[in-house]
Structure 1
Amino acid sequence: MTEEKCPQLVDYFVVAGLDPAGPWRPLDEEGKTCCSTSSSSPSSSSTLAGRGAVDPVTDLAVIAKGLGEEVPEGFTCIERTLGGHSAELSAGLINNPHLFLCYRRGRDKPPVLDLGVLYEGKEQPKQSWYVIETTPYSRSASLCAGSAPTTHRVFLTYRRALDSQGLHTLGVTDIALLLPGKGEVAPHTFCRVDKNLNTGMRAVAKANALVYEASLISRYPEDDLEAFPLPESVPVFCLPMGVTVESWPLNTKYQLPVFSTFVLTSACGDKVYGAAIQFYESFPRELLSERQSVRLGLLSVVDRRPITSRSLQAKKSICVLSHWPFFTVFQKFLTFIYRYSISGPHVLPLEKHISSFMHNVPFPSPQRPRILVQWGNVCVCDSGASFLKLLQNLGPENACTLLLAVLTEHKLLLHSLRPDVLTSVSEALVSMSFPLRWLCPYIPLCPLQMADVLLAPMPFVVGVHSSYFDLYDPPTDVVCVDLDTNTIFQSDDKKPLSWRSLPRRHGKTLFNTLTNLHKTLEKICTPGQEEATLEFLLTDYDQIYRRQKQLELEIQEVFLRFMSCLLRGYRSFLLPITQAPSDTTTDCSSLFNLQGERWHCVST
């Protein structure tokens, strides 16, 4: 009897980016490749990063038009709401000064990150937040000016990015005002401030950049595995927003690598998990044409003189493919490889560590459930789903609502500006209905080039980058879930989904328990903790995240208990099979007592 072969931990190691040898395929405004494929072609320099993106918002001001104040130079005044009504901030006040909000875009200072409202006397200004107390003409900018006492004044506030973070910070790119009483709602990717105002759409404040389609630079092993050939689309999933070539000021600090994950599903339903780290590295100027250098600000427009105060950087990605969703382990391994590549010199070559991890690290088994690797205490026993991130980004009410959407097989579109969150939340979303399995199309990180899948006439769970909404309007029958703003957008043509449609007693228990766990989660997870440094990623995971891991198990248990209660006694509703399999005998009505099961669900 032959011994069964142990599964392999990693199938492929891939490096994706912009191959200096070419060809370079620029992306057009819809994220699709243009006709030109030459790196020296003038047309290849015409594609800028952001695809329709605008400069981030850097300054805010409040002006009193009723007192003769004019819009400051370079500023834009918001005069209308999203529904076309007046956007006056002080409407209805006695001695109304007719206050309006103005903003300025630019790249001369770090972008604005958040907007808020301060009720003076009732709360203290937050640390590192600016309060707009006066107009540019030194008059009071209180939204209650003229009628309220001093202790009841209301001011707009905002928070700005640090100088070292301004280049790649998630900042405000657009601002809109809305009147909920007039039926106006916040658009996709906008974050609503429930106090008074609606903050702007968030996007990454990018540098001057050119965008190209990602290509395969190198891979290991070089030959395809017989059971699993390397998919050609892997580079596109490693860098779903394309490869950016950017020019930075010389004093700009390098952005920390960004970890992202994706899942590829074969025709037979088998899943292949990918984990990737995106980072920047220097790129030779000699490979750029003159027009490309001008567009990137590396040559002066008039005399074509080289500008030495800027550096050239290009995005690259390293990735591993596996049939197992050990995302936390892969993140630590890829982080180690990245740090190893930028430090040195080292005794062992980088390739030695890669081949050792792929071929020498044993697969976990019941006899050896924990595998420790020499370059760090890494436990190879994790899953790709993160119920903790699901509850943290959705909250208890939306989490229960999406459970209902999965059970009733709706079309779900998840979107975020954080690629690492998309897959972990998507995996948790399709896992929360265990022991039931999601057998419909599932693409947790879908490149914009493949966004046509949203037109499929069947249920699906798809995750995309939030910039999708800059290019397209989603189909009306798709439920859109914004993970960055904790918002669910549903069509007005159908009855909106609500967690209250779940079986009453068990649904209420589920909601109340998740609410208590969410309060605990808010206490132990401070904002910004997810954006860890490289050194932090290589420390002992169990020691730092012990409480979070325990909370992860508690959240999983809540959903498992709900599904157990929901499916309790289902065997009594099975009908005996009395005929050979056919189209009619395998129909649900021939296998289940559906009417009795409905009454069972209602009674529970």
Structure 2
Amino acid sequence: MKTPALSLSSCSEGRTGGMTDEKCPQLVDYFVVAGLDPAGPWRSLDEDGRSPSSSSSSSSPLVRAVEPVTDLVVIARGLGEEVPEGFTCIEKTLGGHSAELSAGLINNPHLYLCYRRGRDKPPVLDLGVLYEGKEQLKQGWYIIETTPYSRSASLSSGGGPTAHRVFLTYRRALDSQGLHTLGITDITLLMPSKGEVAPHTFCRVDKNLNTGMWGPALHVCYKRAMTKANALVFEASLISRYPEEDLEAFPLPESVPVFCLPMGVTVESWPLSSKYQLPIFSTFVLTSASGDKVYGAAIQFYESFSRELLSEQQNIRLGLLSVVDRRPITSRSLHTKKSICVLSHWPLFTVFQKFLTFIYRYSISGPHILPLEKHISSFMHNVPFPSPQRPRILVQLSPYDNLVLCQPVSSPLPLSGASFLKLLQNLGPGNACTLLLAVLTERKLLLHSLRPDVLTSVSEALVSMTFPLCWLCPYIPLCPLQMADVLLAPMPFIVGLHSSYFDLYDPPPEVICVDLDTNTIFQSEDKKPLSWRSLPRKHGKSLFSTLSNLHRTLEKICSPGQEEATLEFLLTDYDQIYRRQKQLELEIQEAFLRFMSCLLRGYRAFLLPITQAPSDTTTDCSSLFNLQGFLKSRERTQQKLYVQLTRTQMFTQFIEECSFVSDRHACLEFFDECVKKVDVEKPEEVRLIDLDETHSGEHTVFIMPPEEPQEADGSECSARYR
């Protein structure tokens, strides 16, 4: 499965479509290939992802190997059963209490959970608890119904005709899944009544294992991680780019390669029987000194790597050379991680994912008549950003691959990469409101997930939900491991990290950690935990209620999009299928906008007249805003929140922008209109954002794929590019 190294210098500079009649905003600024340049130099990374003082590639250490859990059993020690060979018995809970599963039963068989690690079979992916007779076993799940000694493994007494048995269940990865499957790497048991809580990044099964008449509740929790084997890790470098020269208005940032591969470039040896991992899509945001955002979309994948590029010591450590006689071990293959990426000023992540997936598939198939570079240059030069004149653009990448671009919904709100749908899906109403409070009071927020594309969408939603306030502190939605020192910054921040960071580190105690995979917020035990109930009571309850209703709707209508869309589907059913999701996205955003309008209602009455020319003194917030009068106008029970809010950088800048001429004048006017709309008897019934479908029924502009060359006699050229 060899992917040719992209040489983008041969990309055509000319336009090949019908877009030359007028100047259109370009959709994509750069196409980048990142990874490990065979020509070097290579900069190795320590186990903790930091660059060591020595950049010698021969000393590059290994990623820590984590063997996944592959087998689970329940044993009855009270009946003489022993722990099977190779298994580990969980005898104690997190706090050191007995982890006996059947402590509350009358005829206690003293049941314990045991697990085995290994790589001889697909790993276990999930754990669960089944109440027999009350629910059905999900497809793909298995029941631990008996012990290894053929006795019942039921966690309940099972007495009487109406009694329901309780079993542990699990789900295993498929044989067809690749070497790098996410699998369970740790299992523990906890008793909430003893003050035990799930460790960071662990997922708790919210069903009590203790079904007896007495004794504390017992819960199982587990951690999932990438179950990869040992690998050498290096810092990502730029392999190729197009265009090769920097654009005058936007030079290519040097940091792009490390954002394409935020956990570094790995060189890994696999058994010959291993299946390839599917490409992983990720997104990131770069912010310029002026505050402008640039959006990146990348696909990570593996390709073959030459053993000759590694030192003898590295080959030995990867299991490619015999330690005894230095003979090559031919039962293993060598691979490295690589990434292709596009940079754009427009956050059309779904479009970019489809384009990059097409490029990846094209590069590993063939032979083709056209070189890969022709498709890249055609997309970059011929596909514009949708406009009112061409609100809908259908791009035919090949006879079998196409994608559609639609003009974003017309709104005074700033365009961003936010997905309020993903925010609500991954956090739920309560945690979404709690994080609103955290952003309003400028806390240190660390978001993490095993799904890198979710980090950017949710982070963008977090900084958008407080409109018209703008987040001014450090903001890195997908942070490379080498830049994780930002977590030690003495100022507020919003940072997103891959969850494997916690395989190496514990978060700083003052940081609020948000696990998007388990919908859990971890806060320091030394401080009073944040709660959405600290928001202004009336408006906070209204926001929570609205989000709860929208969350129920979201669970019903949102399903994964079609992986392969036909031309007929794109032309006929696209609007019908996605219009409701667009509407729901706006309704969630509108709920936060209504809250912010209520929160700051009447603020303009406390702006002070400007009597002097702008200076350090006159632009100070206390010279522009009657803070004490504003605070006195708020409810006494909410004074603490408003005091915290008015001390933030966001609020100070907001007052300055309201007092002087600002680039955000149109946005602030729109917000003032929203404030007027909510200053009525029933503000929840007033619409603040309307879905502008003015152009939804207009014509579609077609962008055709590059023309294939022909021989002199008009016949089709032979396919020679692969």
**TM-score when normalising by structure 2:** 0.77
Out of 394, 404, 412, the residue aligned to residue 378 of structure 1 is: 404
User: How far off its partner does 1:305 sit?
Assistant: 4.9
Aligned to 2:277: 255
Aligned to 1:282: 304
Aligned to 2:473: 440
Aligned to 1:14: 32
Aligned to 2:672: none
Distance 1:216 1:543 in 2: 42
Distance 1:127 1:301 in 2: 46
Would you say the 8 A contact 2:354–2:403 is kept in 1? no
Would you say the 8 A contact 1:566–1:601 is kept in 2? no
Distance 1:548 1:249 in 2: 43
Residues 124-163 of structure 1 aligned to structure 2 (within 5 Å): 124-145=136-157, 151-163=163-175
The aligned amino acid for 1:568 is R
Distance 2:153 2:622 in 1: 67
What are the Cα deviations for residues 428-469 of structure 1, in whole angstroms up to 9, with x where unaligned? Answer: 111111222112211001111111111222211111111222
Out of 285, 290, 298, the residue aligned to residue 268 of structure 1 is: 290
Would you say the 8 A contact 1:95–1:147 is kept in 2? no
User: How far off its partner does 1:317 sit?
Assistant: 0.2
Aligned to 1:75: 87
Q: Note closer, same or farther for the CA distance 1:542–1:17 as it changes in structure 2 (3 Å cut).
A: farther
Q: Note closer, same or farther for the CA distance 1:157–1:601 as it changes in structure 2 (3 Å cut).
A: farther
Matched, 1:369 2:391: yes
Residues 182-581 of structure 1 aligned to structure 2 (within 5 Å): 182-196=194-208, 197-300=219-322, 304-375=326-397, 376-379=402-405, 381=407, 383-526=416-559, 529=560, 533=563, 535=564, 540=570, 542=575, 545-581=578-614
Would you say the 8 A contact 2:456–2:496 is kept in 1? yes
Question: Matched residue of 1:467: which SS?
Answer: helix
Aligned to 1:57: 69
The aligned amino acid for 1:236 is V
Question: Matched residue of 1:397: which SS?
Answer: helix
What are the Cα deviations for residues 202-230 of structure 1, in whole angstroms up to 9, with x where unaligned? Answer: 11221443222211111112222333332
Q: CA RMSD in A?
A: 2.6
Question: Matched residue of 1:62: which SS?
Answer: strand
Would you say the 8 A contact 2:419–2:585 is kept in 1? yes
User: How far off its partner does 1:85 sit?
Assistant: 1.8
The aligned amino acid for 2:527 is K
What are the Cα deviations for residues 563-592 of structure 1, in whole angstroms up to 9, with x where unaligned? Answer: 233333321222222344445543333322
Matched, 1:591 2:603: no
Q: Note closer, same or farther for the CA distance 1:32–1:381 as it changes in structure 2 (3 Å cut).
A: farther
Larger displacement relative to structure 2 (579-588 or 78-87): 579-588
User: How far off its partner does 1:302 sit?
Assistant: 5.0
Distance 1:544 1:257 in 2: 26
The aligned amino acid for 2:62 is L
Would you say the 8 A contact 1:283–1:313 is kept in 2? yes
Would you say the 8 A contact 2:179–2:276 is kept in 1? no
Larger displacement relative to structure 2 (338-347 or 128-137): 338-347
User: How far off its partner does 1:242 sit?
Assistant: 1.1
Distance 1:359 1:91 in 2: 69
User: How far off its partner does 1:600 sit?
Assistant: 4.5
Would you say the 8 A contact 1:413–1:462 is kept in 2? yes
Out of 155, 167, 171, the residue aligned to residue 183 of structure 2 is: 171
Distance 1:543 1:284 in 2: 50
The aligned amino acid for 2:85 is E
User: How far off its partner does 1:480 sit?
Assistant: 0.8
The aligned amino acid for 2:120 is D
Would you say the 8 A contact 1:133–1:142 is kept in 2? yes
The aligned amino acid for 1:192 is R
The aligned amino acid for 2:483 is M
Q: Note closer, same or farther for the CA distance 1:9–1:466 as it changes in structure 2 (3 Å cut).
A: same
User: How far off its partner does 1:425 sit?
Assistant: 0.6
The aligned amino acid for 1:48 is L
What are the Cα deviations for residues 2-49 of structure 1, in whole angstroms up to 9, with x where unaligned? Answer: xx975443222110011122223322111012455455x3x33xx223
What are the Cα deviations for residues 34-89 of structure 1, in whole angstroms up to 9, with x where unaligned? Answer: 455455x3x33xx223xx34211111111222233222111111122222222221
The aligned amino acid for 2:202 is F
**TM-score when normalising by structure 1:** 0.91
Would you say the 8 A contact 1:93–1:144 is kept in 2? yes
Out of 20, 43, 50, the residue aligned to residue 32 of structure 1 is: 50
The aligned amino acid for 2:512 is V
The aligned amino acid for 2:142 is Y
User: How far off its partner does 1:289 sit?
Assistant: 3.7
Larger displacement relative to structure 2 (406-415 or 481-490): 406-415
Distance 1:326 1:104 in 2: 44
The aligned amino acid for 2:125 is L
User: How far off its partner does 1:363 sit?
Assistant: 3.2
Sequence identity (%): 85
User: How far off its partner does 1:353 sit?
Assistant: 2.2
The aligned amino acid for 2:529 is P
Question: Matched residue of 2:113: which SS?
Answer: strand
Q: Which structure 2 segments of 5+ residues have no match? A: 1-21, 209-218, 409-415, 637-678, 680-722
Question: Matched residue of 2:190: which SS?
Answer: coil
Would you say the 8 A contact 1:96–1:146 is kept in 2? no
User: How far off its partner does 1:360 sit?
Assistant: 2.9
Would you say the 8 A contact 1:361–1:373 is kept in 2? yes
Distance 2:449 2:631 in 1: 36
Would you say the 8 A contact 1:247–1:312 is kept in 2? yes
What are the Cα deviations for residues 165-217 of structure 1, in whole angstroms up to 9, with x where unaligned? Answer: 15222211111111111111111111111113232111122144322221111
Question: Matched residue of 1:163: which SS?
Answer: coil
Question: Matched residue of 1:24: which SS?
Answer: coil
User: How far off its partner does 1:344 sit?
Assistant: 2.5
Larger displacement relative to structure 2 (548-557 or 450-459): 548-557
The aligned amino acid for 1:21 is A
Would you say the 8 A contact 1:116–1:199 is kept in 2? no
Would you say the 8 A contact 1:93–1:146 is kept in 2? no
Larger displacement relative to structure 2 (200-209 or 391-400): 200-209
User: How far off its partner does 1:502 sit?
Assistant: 1.9
Distance 1:76 1:165 in 2: 26
What are the Cα deviations for residues 119-164 of structure 1, in whole angstroms up to 9, with x where unaligned? Answer: 1222222221111112222222222247787732211111101011
Q: Which has the larger radius of gyration?
A: 2
Q: Note closer, same or farther for the CA distance 1:145–1:48 as it changes in structure 2 (3 Å cut).
A: farther
Larger displacement relative to structure 2 (53-62 or 141-150): 141-150
The aligned amino acid for 2:44 is P
User: How far off its partner does 1:501 sit?
Assistant: 1.9
